[in-house]
Structure 1
Amino acid sequence: MNKTDELLSQLFSLRNQYGEKITTRKLNLLTTLSNEKLKTKKAIQLWYENLLFLLAYPDNRSVYQLASLALEQLEGYIQSHENIKTRLFNSGITNTRLCAAFGFEIVKWLRKKYPNEVSLSSFEADEGTIQSILSAVMPKVESEILQDGNSDWKLWLKFKKGKDMLDKLIAIFDESDIRPEVKDELWSAIGINVEINFSSHLSLPPSLITPYYHHSLVRKKSVLKSNDIKATKVVLTEGQAERVIECGRMILVRHLREIDPISFTAVPLITYYRLPRGLSIALMGMIPERRHPIDSYMGYVVFKNGLPVAYAGSWILFDSGRIGLNIFPAYRGGESQYIFQQVLKLHGTVYHLNRFTVDPYQIGKDNSDGIKSGAFWTYYHAGFRPIRQQQKQISETEASKIKSTKGYRTPTAILEKLADSRMEIVLKKTAVTFDATDISLVYARILKEQWNNDRKLAEGVLFTKLVKLLQIKNYQEEKLKFILKNWCVLLLSREEKLRRNKKLNTMLKDLFEIKARGAEEDYISGLQRNPELKRLLEEIVKENI
């Protein structure tokens, strides 16, 4: 290990330690390393991540300012050295480039937001597949030219609006009237790789940043017992809300990730809360066209001293929420447990939740990053426990080993076994005990046992029945129709009970209207004010699972 690598390693080891002597060593290392000309990809990445961590968890103003200056110098150094940029390709570091395939809406937004920084790179699909997909997306009368060798798709694109091929493809998909989720799949099937140049640092505007300086980190692993939280709701300007969305989307793009609530949100759907210790959390809803018909898929981004440090989604149904936590790699080793506590408490307070669950993927099932980061124990220390008995017993054994054996770490093979079960934490015994994953199983069983797996027939018959029963006149509106088709099979499996309950029918009609065009928060609270619907669904779930 050379001198520079040794200094970087020292700073990494000290980054999450505090005290007067530690702070002095950090300042000395920052000063020394700022004058080093780093050459290797590994060294630059470690330096970059060290600086991000120190900005999120600074000891004092001096550390914060020196780390800020060093980051600015590093970004300038990368910008002025093309060979360094090349080595850092796909690293996600500012002033480097990345190439990957992203969803249609994200590419459309990227191209509009950064017209000079985003360009078409390549296609993953072959020529024939691309031509077939474009024929399906375009109006029939227009796509005829692509049939039987009359023209190829590249030649035809020359006549479409847009200054280059990427703009033309975006325009074709944007003008199509096919369902958004189908459009997404067709776009993904083409495999449009775009190259992105990250030309600016990702941070909230100064008006939303008040740096917090640390004397220590919160390490206490306390179990969530209530939803009490010291959170202040901040009314954002349109510009501030746009920057929150930009930070959320771009930090995911830099890490080659996407999630629907962040991709499909909008300025009016952002709520922003300031919390202790330099934290803030932006909650994000989805536009009506993208919402789930049964539960409410919400997203969030956690900021620390203005930097996006974590994100995830939550699927809310009645007073229960499936939730997760993803800490970006640069910020691991900080206050992950405390951050998750704040996320849970804020969700519990804002959405009035009394139960949280975690899906196997979040714990590490088919997710190597979840295994590597030991995600299971983050949830366990927050009070979550495996739902399956086998995993519950394994977790108790492992917890005892960790407590009694110094330095013990759960083996990867055992973490993979633990990831085979969902986890839950129940704050009130009256909380609903099912979620949309259970509803999905119920739906499939009803189709199989009552309709011989003929979904088209079931929805055709029951959709019409539900429309008449609820006396819905605007049932042909696309968003409302989608919602009704997803609910009709479930609700009319209890047709007689539904017909006898006029009050429930009225509430259902109102709920569906809210889901189609209102606020998701109103839909969530509407479900919670409807105990009769809760009891009805509990009966259906109990009978079919």
Structure 2
Amino acid sequence: MESYVGYTLFKNGFPVSYGGSWVFGERANFGINIFESFRGAESGYTFCQLLRVFKNTFGVLFFEVEPYQFGLGNPEGITSGAFWFYYHYGFRPMDKALKKLAAFEKAKINKNKSYRTRKSILQQFTESSMVLKPSKKIPLSLPSVTNKITSMIETQFGGDRDVAINECTRLFEGQTKIRHPLNQDQQNILYEVALVSKALRITNSESLTLLAKMIDTKPIDLYGYQQLLLTFLKKVNN
């Protein structure tokens, strides 16, 4: 149900940065690469503006950066101390122990400007993703939904995904007014929302209608689809 949103950022007609984000409701798994010629003082400004765009355009309130971005399997990320770039702009390790270690290291840096975090510690930080969450509320994650689908398939359909898809689709079509025929993209989304509906035990008509609308909307309108998904997830969380 997530959407990949890629981007290229230009300044005065020249590409400055590229990357993308997997967006799922109010959450986004965010990636950025700033071309070397443009790294420096404006990097932070560029980064913050991109976050602002994703927040204002897609309603993202929870940003996650995977360890590769700051060093896992990425020696340049360790050498450049990329962890501290994200830390400076509010990102913190998801792991509580690493979050505490980072705060300890930051206190050392604040006390002694010449202090540099050891590479071994920077590598240790890559054991956890970093997140930026302006609110204490943690939005529903995609894995939490897919785990429920997997559990449902195992317990109710003997682990047979094809049988689960067929049965959930039949049930969903009986609950909603799906117009046929569907193209391949629409059919794939029908399978997705049917599984979600069954796994999350969706029965109210308003939520079912939102899921049904996604079938036509997602293939052609990313922004419209995101609004449908945001509305649906808020109802699920309430």
Do the structures match in fold with TM over 0.5?
yes
Which stretches in structure 2 are left out of the alignment for 5+ residues? Answer: none
Structure 1 residue 389: Cα displacement = 0.7
Give the structure-1-normalised TM-score.
Answer: 0.41
In 1, Cα distance between the equivalents of 2:211 and 2:28?
21
Q: Does the Cα contact within 8 Å between 2:189 and 2:214 map onto a contact in 1?
A: no
Q: How does 1:411-450 map to 2 (within 5 A)?
A: 411-430=118-137, 433-450=139-156
Q: How does 1:208-219 map to 2 (within 5 A)?
A: none
Deviations 1:60-119 (A, max 9, x none): xxxxxxxxxxxxxxxxxxxxxxxxxxxxxxxxxxxxxxxxxxxxxxxxxxxxxxxxxxxx
Structure 1 residue 352: Cα displacement = 2.5
Equivalent position of 1:372 in the other structure: 79
Deviations 1:454-509 (A, max 9, x none): 222211221222222222132642111111222322320244xx23x112222221
Q: Partner amino acid for 2:162?
A: K
Please point out which of 502, 527, 540 is paired with 2:229: 527
Q: Partner amino acid for 1:467?
A: E
How many residue pairs match? The answer is 238
Are 1:513 and 2:213 counterparts? no
Q: Partner amino acid for 2:192?
A: N
Are 1:469 and 2:175 counterparts? yes
Are 1:488 and 2:191 counterparts? no
Equivalent position of 1:240 in the other structure: none
Deviations 1:13-65 (A, max 9, x none): xxxxxxxxxxxxxxxxxxxxxxxxxxxxxxxxxxxxxxxxxxxxxxxxxxxxx
Q: Does the Cα contact within 8 Å between 2:197 and 2:208 map onto a contact in 1?
A: no
Which stretches in structure 1 are left out of the alignment for 5+ residues? Answer: 1-293, 540-545
Equivalent position of 2:30 in the other structure: 323
Q: Partner amino acid for 1:332?
A: R
Q: Partner amino acid for 2:32?
A: L
In 2, Cα distance between the equivalents of 1:328 and 1:305?
15
Q: Secondary structure at the match of 1:366?
A: coil
Q: How does 1:71-470 map to 2 (within 5 A)?
A: 294-430=1-137, 433-470=139-176
Structure 1 residue 297: Cα displacement = 1.1
Structure 1 residue 395: Cα displacement = 0.9
Q: Could you say if the C-alpha distance between residues 408 and 453 of structure 1 is closer, same or farther in structure 2, counting changes exceeding 3 Å?
A: farther
Matched residues, percent identical? 32
Structure 1 residue 520: Cα displacement = 0.3
Q: Secondary structure at the match of 1:312?
A: strand
Q: Does the Cα contact within 8 Å between 1:467 and 1:475 map onto a contact in 2?
A: no
Structure 1 residue 381: Cα displacement = 0.7
Deviations 1:136-176 (A, max 9, x none): xxxxxxxxxxxxxxxxxxxxxxxxxxxxxxxxxxxxxxxxx
Q: Secondary structure at the match of 1:325?
A: strand
Deviations 1:251-276 (A, max 9, x none): xxxxxxxxxxxxxxxxxxxxxxxxxx
In 2, Cα distance between the equivalents of 1:339 and 1:403?
24
Q: Secondary structure at the match of 1:483?
A: helix
Structure 1 residue 420: Cα displacement = 1.6
Equivalent position of 1:504 in the other structure: 207
Tell me which of the two structures has the higher relative contact order, counting C-alpha pairs closer than 8 angstroms and 6 or more residues apart.
2
Q: Could you say if the C-alpha distance between residues 401 and 451 of structure 1 is closer, same or farther in structure 2, counting changes exceeding 3 Å?
A: farther
In 2, Cα distance between the equivalents of 1:445 and 1:407?
51
Equivalent position of 2:184 in the other structure: 478
Once structures 1 and 2 are overlaid, which stretch shifts more, 467-476 or 382-391? Answer: 467-476
Q: Does the Cα contact within 8 Å between 2:64 and 2:131 map onto a contact in 1?
A: yes
Q: Secondary structure at the match of 1:471?
A: coil
In 1, Cα distance between the equivalents of 2:69 and 2:156?
34
Q: Partner amino acid for 2:212?
A: K
In 2, Cα distance between the equivalents of 1:410 and 1:380?
13
In 1, Cα distance between the equivalents of 2:157 and 2:4?
29
Equivalent position of 1:159 in the other structure: none
Q: Partner amino acid for 1:509?
A: A
Q: Could you say if the C-alpha distance between residues 364 and 453 of structure 1 is closer, same or farther in structure 2, counting changes exceeding 3 Å?
A: farther
Q: Could you say if the C-alpha distance between residues 454 and 370 of structure 1 is closer, same or farther in structure 2, counting changes exceeding 3 Å?
A: farther
